């Protein structure tokens, strides 16, 4: 019973482990795997395990569902937070400028001058990469040599981030 | 119920302390201070709850009584803190994607030409601040005009390089 209690407490961490394993397997073994799809799939698999463990815990501890709900909610929020962190970790590896810069620097034995860095990675590539992603996901559409907002998900995310920047940092941009 | 109530309480206290400090003055090493705030609130909060559990209650809910409940609160608090810290990183630096989206949105039905991005978003805006971040976060240093990785930078670079190999990511990214 004690083992079950501790498994219940650490079920978000177990769920995260399953999330990571499933996401990696999907990426490695499926041809042309979409990174975003693999992340969602991993998250769902981890959540399924979490619910499974919680169900076993509720059955073994003979709790009623209303009594168990607060504790299960805590674990659900913990798992969602950990899953979000993992999503960000993958996203950093894929899109972060600092990480790309670190990877460029690790490839060079003797370091890189600013000119050498810009030869490998520069504003043009940054814009191209992002436009390519935004066009692929339909967040932006290209028509008559101009860009327009497509699906508004990223637009709403941008508004939310802007709001948080003003609320917490008191400014809209790092350049203010 | 006590785990849920007091997990939310500790999280709220941490956020309020963070908000107050940021309104007084935004620290130079923001992520380090956030980590300090989280650690202090977690340890102090759990300590107060544990040693005064007989006397503390909130909204009619008594403080957690068992050790495993405190463990569950810790898992919750650490998860939320980590999630907040990764979100905070996205607030510190302007994301080029989000800037591009807002710029396109502002142009409305007129649309936006690609050359506008190239004019507004150059190496000075997109890269120089990030290179400076690597220096200030002690991930890289400059020696004889060349940027090199510190041991900390090397560790981070290796983690992400290895992970990208595991995921079989061939595109350069960034």
Chains A, B: CB contacts within 8 A come to 243
CA distance B158 to chain A (A): 8
Q: If we measure between CA atoms, which residue out of A94, A92, A116 comes closest to residue A105?
A: A116
* A8 and A65 belong to one structural domain: yes
Q: If we measure between CA atoms, which residue out of B164, B84, B100 comes closest to residue A94?
A: B164
- Residue A87: count of CB within 10 angstroms of its CB: 19
Does residue A141 surpass a pLDDT of 80?
yes
Q: Tell me, what's the pLDDT at A1?
A: 67
Angle at the Cα of A82 (from A76 to A88), degrees rounded to 5?
Answer: 135
In a domain, B68, yes or no: yes
CA distance B9 to chain A (A): 13
* A21 and A90 belong to one structural domain: yes
Per residue in A31-49, pLDDT (tens digit) is: 777 888 899 999 999 999 9
* B85 and B131 belong to one structural domain: no
3-state SS string for A133-175: HHHHCCCEEEECCEEEECCCHHHHHHHHHHHHHHHHHCCCCCC
* B16 and B67 belong to one structural domain: yes
DSSP state of B57: E
In a domain, B102, yes or no: no
* A142 and A171 belong to one structural domain: yes
pTM: 0.89
Q: Tell me, what's the pLDDT at B109?
A: 87
Q: Are B114 and A147 in contact (CB under 8 A)?
A: yes
Per residue in B8-32, pLDDT (tens digit) is: 999 999 999 999 999 999 888 888 9
* A80 and A111 belong to one structural domain: no
Confidence of residue A168 (pLDDT cuts 50, 70, 90): confident
The domain of B134 spans 127-174
Q: Tell me, what's the pLDDT at B56?
A: 86
Q: If we measure between CA atoms, which residue out of B63, B27, B61 comes closest to residue B46?
A: B63
DSSP string, B76-145: HHHHHHHHHHHHHHHHHSPPHHHHHHHHHHHHGGG-B-HHHHHHHS-HHHHTHHHHHHHHHTTSEEEETT
Does residue B172 surpass a pLDDT of 80?
no
Confidence of residue B121 (pLDDT cuts 50, 70, 90): confident
- Mutate one of B59, B62, B97 to test the A interface: name it (highest A CB count within 10 A): B97
Higher pLDDT, A8 or B122: A8
Count of domains for chain B: 2
Q: Are A35 and B163 in contact (CB under 8 A)?
A: no
Q: Which residues of B touch A15 (CB under 8 A)?
A: none
In a domain, B60, yes or no: yes
In a domain, B12, yes or no: yes
* A12 and A63 belong to one structural domain: yes
The domain of A170 spans 138-176
CA distance A103 to chain B (A): 5
* B11 and B83 belong to one structural domain: yes
Of B39, B70, B92, the residue that ends a domain is B92
């Amino acid at each position: 019973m004690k083992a079950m209690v501790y498994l219940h407490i650490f079920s978000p961490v177990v769920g995260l482990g399953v999330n990571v394993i499933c996401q990696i397997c999907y990426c490695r073994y499926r041809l042309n795997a979409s990174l975003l799809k693999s992340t969602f799939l991993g998250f769902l698999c981890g959540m399924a395990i979490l619910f499974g463990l919680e169900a076993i815990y509720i059955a073994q501890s003979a709790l009623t569902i209303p009594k168990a709900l607060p504790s299960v909610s805590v674990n659900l929020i913990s798992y969602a937070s950990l899953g979000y962190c993992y999503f960000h970790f993958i996203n950093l590896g894929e899109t972060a400028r600092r990480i790309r810069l670190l990877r460029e620097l690790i490839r060079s034995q003797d370091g890189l001058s600013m000119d050498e860095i810009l030869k490998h990675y520069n504003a043009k590539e940054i814009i191209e990469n992002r436009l390519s992603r935004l066009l692929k996901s339909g967040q932006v559409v290209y028509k008559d040599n101009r860009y327009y907002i497509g699906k508004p998900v990223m637009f709403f995310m941008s508004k939310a981030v802007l709001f948080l920047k003003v609320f917490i940092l008191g400014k809209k941009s790092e350049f203010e | 119920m006590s785990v849920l109530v007091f997990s939310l309480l500790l999280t709220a206290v941490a956020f309020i302390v963070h908000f107050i400090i940021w309104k007084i003055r935004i620290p130079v090493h923001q992520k380090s201070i956030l980590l300090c705030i989280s650690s202090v609130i977690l340890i102090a909060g759990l300590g107060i709850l544990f040693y005064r559990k007989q006397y503390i209650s909130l909204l009619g809910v008594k403080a957690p009584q068992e050790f495993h409940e405190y463990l569950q609160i810790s898992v919750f608090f650490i998860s939320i803190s980590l999630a907040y810290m990764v979100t905070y990183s996205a607030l510190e630096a302007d994301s080029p994607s989000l800037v591009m989206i807002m710029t396109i949105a502002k142009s409305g039905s007129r649309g936006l030409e690609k050359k506008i991005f190239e004019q507004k978003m150059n190496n000075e805006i997109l890269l120089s601040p990030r290179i400076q971040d690597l220096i200030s976060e002690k991930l890289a240093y400059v020696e004889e005009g060349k940027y090199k990785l510190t041991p900390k930078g090397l560790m981070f670079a290796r983690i992400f390089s290895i992970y990208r190999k595991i995921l079989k990511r061939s595109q350069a990214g960034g």
